[in-house]
Structure 1
Amino acid sequence: MIQDREAAPDVSIVVPIYNEVDNLRDLVERIAQAMAGQTLSFELLAVDDGSTDNSAALLRELAAERPWLRAICLARNYGQSSALQAGFDRVRGRYVVTLDADLQNEPADIPLLLERLENDQSVDMVSGWRKDRQDAELSRKLPSRIANRLISSATGVHLHDYGCALKAYRRPIIDRIRLYGELHRFIPSLAKEAGARITEVPVRHHARTRGVSKYGIDRTFRVILDLILIVFFMRYRQRPLHAFGGFGLWLVSPGLLILGWLFVLKLTGDDIGGRPLLLLGVMLVLMGMQFIAAGLMGELLMRIYHEAGGAPQYHAKEYSAVSTAHSEPTRPATRTQ
């Protein structure tokens, strides 16, 4: 169903774009064809992430001819996470779909994901699974498989394919998460933290035929660093003292034991001044105390953040016999139109 600019659509499709001028026209047309037979109205938010080719100009041209297409041009290249967040900040639909602009995702699979959300109220997010990947390079397949297993094990969100950009969400989930740095790879983990119930469906995947891939082997190292951040965020965001303080106690305890033993030796008349253990014991105690102090500071900052009106401590739905409507103790996210 074609959507005009005035009425809020049922579906908002967000596509981050960087130097994909050769694919844009075909991408827009294939998304329009995929949604043409749907009863759900839609809008397409194409976010140009500071492309250096003619992508931004072509987007503006295409948007001028299509009322359902909104071209968002960022001032410079901020990265895929920021581009997605720019789209999320402007979505109006009750469902949100994301996919890449390189046409390796199949736009015709969008209705498949939306159908699952429409028919299964127990699901809040549907993630695509490129079951038959068409990447020819082993340098992309092998790191991807390793990353998928590592992320699933560390976060507890078990998916076959974290890297598939084709995903569909209920709008409240998108309103609850914010993307920074390169956290777009971990949206399922962030969605789970926001209370989403996640499922996975196989989708088609095509080899890139136009344009140049933006990914390299160096991405593997960035994924590991981001994974550390996500695990900390999911487990210790509201209790930083347990993370820093726990590690601090592991350092302080052997340090105190060492110093206690040396103290006993000192009382018996032994010279402990030149022993390396003295330096080790003092260093362990000082380092441990620093970690504990960092945990206490984290606790204070977390409380200040929540009490000042930051992100809510929880998300909930409330039901009653009077009304089936639900409410959440959250402030609505600020949306820029």
Structure 2
Amino acid sequence: MPQISVVVPVFNERDNVKPLVDEIVAALRGRHDFEIVYVDDDSKDDSLAVLQGLKAQVPELRVLHHVAQSGQSTAVRTGVKAARGTWIATLDGDGQNDPADIPKLIAARDAGEREVKLYAGWRVNRKDTGSKRWASKFANAIRSRLLRDSTPDTGCGIKLFERDAFLDLPYFDHMHRYLPALMQRAGWRTVSVPVNHRPRGAGVSKYNNLNRALVGIADLRGVAWLIRRSRRTGVDEI
């Protein structure tokens, strides 16, 4: 069984698929037992065909396909449910996350405490446009003030978390943006780890500042409600 399952959701990323798969293999092969689980969210280009062609070259690669487009959070959850590793590393499919940071997150986990179930990437030197960086900074400030999750960057796609802890979280669309707060709500600790960030290699972003903001308002209210309504207690077996 693999130690690590690398889950990558993709939608219309055909030109980024092979370079990213090659980088994942270069970062992990010979260092960790791993698998790569790509989830194609019903791409309209030939991303799925590219992935199927790579399977003969990369034995660690598994490919899942949504029969209808369902969004990034659902694609991540699909990959995690199918994963065989006890720990999951996630990457965005656009190539902006650096797979070379996965061993760094694993090392942080190995040196960390058992109560930490999520190691979240922190893009300290973002390579996005100025407007996107400003919007992200503003959104992070509001989120941090409302949820008090002590996380500087929840939007970074590269994360390492325990599979069982993730699957125990409440599922909803866009939940991948709130994993630190949700993990903390469940009673676990989270750690932010500085990681590399790169310009998009090819293709176009699937989000813009406006649709992020409109969706984010409803999501923030929902997550805040979940936190307020949560109850936790220790359990003794007698």
TM-score by length of 2: 0.93
SS of equivalent to 2:171: coil
By relative contact order (CA 8 Å, sep 6+), the higher-ranking structure is: 2
Paired position in structure 2 for 1:134: 127
Looking at structure 1, the residues matched to 39 and 132 of structure 2 have their Cα atoms a distance apart, in angstroms, of 25
* CA shift for structure 1 position 91: 1.5
Structure 2: runs of 5+ lacking an equivalent: none
Looking at structure 1, the residues matched to 74 and 234 of structure 2 have their Cα atoms a distance apart, in angstroms, of 27
Q: Answer 1 or 2: which has greater helix percent.
A: 1
Structure 1: runs of 5+ lacking an equivalent: 1-7, 239-313, 320-337
Q: Deviations over 1:93-151 (max 9, x none)?
A: 1211111011110010000001111121242211111000011x222111100111111
Looking at structure 2, the residues matched to 209 and 151 of structure 1 have their Cα atoms a distance apart, in angstroms, of 29
Which of 149, 157, 165 is the matching residue for 2:149? 157
Residue identity in the other structure for 1:220: A
Q: 1:177 to 1:63 in 2, by over 3 A?
A: farther
SS of equivalent to 2:152: coil
Q: Answer 1 or 2: which has greater strand percent.
A: 2
Looking at structure 2, the residues matched to 117 and 316 of structure 1 have their Cα atoms a distance apart, in angstroms, of 24
Q: Note if 1:119 corresponds to 2:111.
A: yes
Alignment of 1:273-284 (within 5 A): none
Count of residues paired in the alignment: 235
Q: Note if 1:36 corresponds to 2:44.
A: no
Looking at structure 1, the residues matched to 141 and 86 of structure 2 have their Cα atoms a distance apart, in angstroms, of 31
Q: 1:52 to 1:315 in 2, by over 3 A?
A: farther
1:195/1:315 contact within 8 Å kept: no
Looking at structure 1, the residues matched to 38 and 234 of structure 2 have their Cα atoms a distance apart, in angstroms, of 32
TM-score by length of 1: 0.67
Q: 1:228 to 1:42 in 2, by over 3 A?
A: same
Residue identity in the other structure for 2:219: D
Q: Note if 1:196 corresponds to 2:194.
A: no
Looking at structure 2, the residues matched to 77 and 220 of structure 1 have their Cα atoms a distance apart, in angstroms, of 21
Looking at structure 2, the residues matched to 318 and 91 of structure 1 have their Cα atoms a distance apart, in angstroms, of 31
CA RMSD of aligned residues (A): 1.8
* CA shift for structure 1 position 316: 5.7
SS of equivalent to 1:89: helix
2:80/2:163 contact within 8 Å kept: no
Q: Note if 1:46 corresponds to 2:38.
A: yes
SS of equivalent to 1:72: strand
Looking at structure 2, the residues matched to 125 and 161 of structure 1 have their Cα atoms a distance apart, in angstroms, of 13
Paired position in structure 1 for 2:218: 225
2:8/2:92 contact within 8 Å kept: yes
Alignment of 1:8-47 (within 5 A): 8-38=1-31, 40-47=32-39
1:194/1:315 contact within 8 Å kept: no
Q: Max radius of gyration: which structure?
A: 1
Matched-pair identity in % = 37
Q: Deviations over 1:128-187 (max 9, x none)?
A: 11000011x222111100111111111111111111010101233123124322222111
Paired position in structure 1 for 2:98: 106
Paired position in structure 2 for 1:82: 74
